[in-house]
Structure 1
Amino acid sequence: MRTILVTGSADGIGLHTATQLVAGGHRVILHARNEERAVVAKAAVPGAAGTAVGDLRSLEETRALAVSLQEHGRFDAVVHNAGIARLDSSERELTDDGLESMFQVNVLAPYLLTALLPPPGRLVFVSSAMAAEGAVELGDLQYERRPWNGFAVYSTSKLLDLMLAVAIARRWPGTLSNAVDPGWVRTRMGGDGAPIDPADAARGQVRLAVDEDVRVTGQYFSDRDWRPADFDQAQLDELLARFADLTGTALPAH
């Protein structure tokens, strides 16, 4: 039995990931952005060991979430599943922290939670095939100067998730840190026309979280043809430094 945190587990792929992990006999901590959704999550996965609440649009709440999670000890795995998409948005949406919302929820919050929690045995970052359409500019991570395009910003956030998985894999050799592309899934985000059932999409996250045959790190698991080129170490180091500056929290040594 392993202790596993699944962020964004009130619905969609996260809910199915948590359900499958509980069915496999694991101790699962659910996460929701508020108390109301936490109640919904617990009702949907009654076998879960607990719930944790924190809005990833807020750095303060993300830090408080990390503190509340400390009571569960060191996690064997953390699945960074939570995410938002504003693909058709015509303008930037800023959080109360003054950060672009997709960047904060999809990228910066997983970084901050990872930096604040004891290093787990495994990290799973949910990326997307749309990462292939992303374009990272270290001096403009939040599209403050580049032309705004919701599709491009979301795609870039998923590319940054992939880069984050690789960067942590290189910094923390004792943690298996990988990224996964769940495909185009029938969720509120993916829409009713998507071809993949969320239960099927969840199996990839579950495998990376618990299967003993997974012993690789810094990899991207996807059925798509696209594979990212090897990331330059200097670029990954600068990326982590920028995340540390934005959050006030550096990734600790491991």
Structure 2
Amino acid sequence: MSRIFITGSADGLGYAAAENLLADGHEVVAHVRSPQRLEAVKPLIDQGAQVVVGDLAHLNATQDVAAQVNKLGQMDAVIHNAGVYSGPSVVPVNVVAPYVLTSLIAKPARLIYLSSGMHLNGQPRLEGVDWSGARESATYSDSKLFITTLTMALARYWPDILCNAVDPGWVPTKMGGANAPGDLRLGHLTQEWLAVSDDSEARTSGGYWHHQKRRTPHAAARDEAFQNALLESLARTTGITLPLP
């Protein structure tokens, strides 16, 4: 049995992953944006889930989420699922929050980050990006390129931890829309598998996955100079330095 923390668990892929992992006998720590969203995860709580609360669009709240998680004890895996598609919060929620949580939560054995096939359209440019979210400065595609790059950097710097990125596909969630053509079940299966499976492939690191198959990410995601520049920019902006060897 593993203990898994899942960000953005009030609905969509995060909720579905939490529900499945609980059903399989694992411990789950769910996450909601505000106390008003606790009702949405009541079925998870009734199945034994614990919950932390905080708005990942704000740095101080994200730091508090990390403190809440650490207070609950060691996690075996963290699924960085929370995300937004548009607006000024795209960068803080999709990139800054995973970076901060990764830096501050006691290291788990496995880290999974939600990417997207749209990251292939992202621009590997950091100039002008407003990490605070005070203004809209990067696209969803850019944000997913950044988080995929962070994943590959972590896999390089932390060889003792399994770090992987997942493209869940375009699936019918609140973000994807009711008419999305993808398979909802397959949309959360890979991150669950990477979080708990003992399959040999699930115990590898540095992968970009789609439906349990490795895919080739944007070349910039594996560019060590771009990885380092991203880490330096995030550290400078947040005042939080990722613990690296």
Indicate if the aligned counterparts of 2:29 and 2:50 stay in contact, CA closer than 8 A. Answer: yes
Counterpart amino acid of 1:19? Answer: E
- In the alignment, is residue 156 of structure 1 matched against residue 146 of structure 2? no
Indicate if the aligned counterparts of 2:34 and 2:53 stay in contact, CA closer than 8 A. Answer: yes
Distance in 1, matches of 2:45 and 2:180, equals 24
- In the alignment, is residue 141 of structure 1 matched against residue 129 of structure 2? yes
Alignment of 1:75-154 (within 5 A): 75-86=75-86, 93=87, 100-142=88-130, 153-154=139-140
TM-score (norm 1): 0.87
Runs ≥4 in structure 1, deviation > 4 angstroms?
223-226
Q: How many Å apart are 1:253 and its aligned residue?
A: 2.9
Alignment-derived partner of residue 207 in structure 1: 193
Distance in 2, matches of 1:38 and 1:176, equals 30
Alignment-derived partner of residue 180 in structure 1: 166
- What's the CA shift string for 1:105-143, capped at 9, x where partnerless? 000000000100111100000000100111021223349
Q: How many Å apart are 1:73 and its aligned residue?
A: 1.6
Aligned residues: 237
TM-score (norm 2): 0.90
Alignment-derived partner of residue 245 in structure 1: 236
Counterpart amino acid of 2:223? Answer: D
- What's the CA shift string for 1:144-182, capped at 9, x where partnerless? 9xxx79xx7001101111101111111111110000000
Indicate if the aligned counterparts of 1:28 and 1:49 stay in contact, CA closer than 8 A. Answer: yes
Alignment-derived partner of residue 14 in structure 1: 14
Alignment of 1:25-104 (within 5 A): 25-44=25-44, 46-86=46-86, 93=87, 100-104=88-92
- In the alignment, is residue 228 of structure 1 matched against residue 218 of structure 2? yes
Distance in 2, matches of 1:73 and 1:143, equals 29
Counterpart amino acid of 1:199? Answer: R
Instruction: List gaps (5 residues or longer) in structure 2.
Output: none
Indicate if the aligned counterparts of 2:208 and 2:216 stay in contact, CA closer than 8 A. Answer: no
Alignment-derived partner of residue 89 in structure 1: none
Counterpart amino acid of 1:228? Answer: H
Distance in 2, matches of 1:13 and 1:227, equals 21
Distance in 2, matches of 1:67 and 1:193, equals 38
Distance in 2, matches of 1:244 and 1:48, equals 36
- What's the CA shift string for 1:45-74, capped at 9, x where partnerless? 522430000100110100111111112222
The 1:74/1:128 distance shift into structure 2, 3 A limit, reads same
Instruction: List gaps (5 residues or longer) in structure 1.
Output: 87-92, 94-99
Distance in 2, matches of 1:40 and 1:232, equals 40
- In the alignment, is residue 170 of structure 1 matched against residue 156 of structure 2? yes
The secondary structure found in structure 1 opposite 2:189 is: helix
